Amino acid sequence: MKKFKDYEKLAIFAKAMAHPVRLEMLAHLSAHDYCYTGDLVDVFPLAQSTVSQHLKELKKAGLIQGKICPPKVRYCLDEENWKIAKELFEAFFKQKNV
Amino acid sequence: MKKFKDYEKLAIFAKAMAHPVRLEMLAHLSAHDYCYTGDLVDVFPLAQSTVSQHLKELKKAGLIQGKICPPKVRYCLDEENWKIAKELFEAFFKQKNV
DNA sequence: ATCGTTTATCGTAAATAAACGATGAATTTT
DNA sequence: AAAATTCATCGTTTATTTACGATAAACGAT
């Protein structure tokens, strides 16, 4: 059966993951439970604004969440969507028939 | 351990998959073993040149192969890279630690 | 040799992405 | 109240993506 709707969603997740820096960020969050923007600024050789922009992309796709903890912002994986993404990718690669 | 190299590769696969049309194309090839460009032009409401361009993207990422069968071109999944992509995504979503 | 079929490539326009520095908002510290 | 810290957003530049129509290339059929 056609699952175009799923592909829309899957494409959004794939797009968020379509950059090495964002994959590193996700991996970092997967490994560390949470982190602040500044932590990532220290890790990547990128301007603070660029790191922030990548985080925004990940948040837009729903893969991460940001919680304001003044004066910082604490990011963590969005476990629910992370699970959905995992399942969509799994299903996509599993399928071998319509 | 850091696997930056893998993230480069994974990002390339994710980028190729970051468009609903290309996901549909991959699904189509996954379901039909092979198809010609024209088959896809009939399926999608897109210009022939656009379909060809998407196929080029998928080929560039290594996810599909094209074989010239005059006067057509026959596309199929690149099984080897398809497997690699599948494994990279699996590993990525599985990891929960450094 | 010409014609029709099939597909890739070219050229172009509009949209989106990636990177940066500078600025601004929120909140804690002094 | 002022200063410092942390982070998002703005404005900009450059590059890439997406889509199209038009053209070119390759080849079989006539």
Residue B5 pLDDT class (50, 70, 90 cuts): low
CATH of the domain at A41: 1.10.10.10
Q: Do B31 and A92 touch (CB under 8 A)?
A: no
Distance CA B82, CA A51 (A): 31
User: What average pLDDT is seen over chain B?
Assistant: 92
Which domain covers residue A12, as residue numbers?
4-93
Q: How far is the CA of A73 from the C1' of D7 (A)?
A: 7
Percent of chain B predicted with pLDDT > 90? 87
Peptide bond between residue B71 and the one before it cis (omega within 30 degrees of 0): yes
- Number of domains observed in the structure of chain A: 1
Shortest Cα–Cα distance, B31 to chain A (Å): 4
Mean pLDDT, to the nearest integer, of A20-32? 96
- pLDDT value at A3 more than 50: no
As a three-state string, the secondary structure of A30-47 is HHHCCEEHHHHHHHCCCC
Taking the C1' atom of every nucleotide in all shown strands and the CA of A70, the nearest one is C27
Question: pLDDT of A40-59, one tens digit each?
Answer: 999 999 999 999 999 999 99
Confirm whether A73 is domain-assigned.
yes
- pLDDT value at B98 more than 60: no
Confirm whether A30 is domain-assigned.
yes
User: What average pLDDT is seen over chain A?
Assistant: 92
Confirm whether A22 is domain-assigned.
yes
Among A1, A18, A12, A5, which Cα is nearest to A81's? Answer: A12
Interface test with A, best of B3, B19, B23, B88 (most A CBs within 10 A): B23
Q: Which residues in chain B have Cβ-Cβ distances shorter than 8 Å to A96? A: 30-31
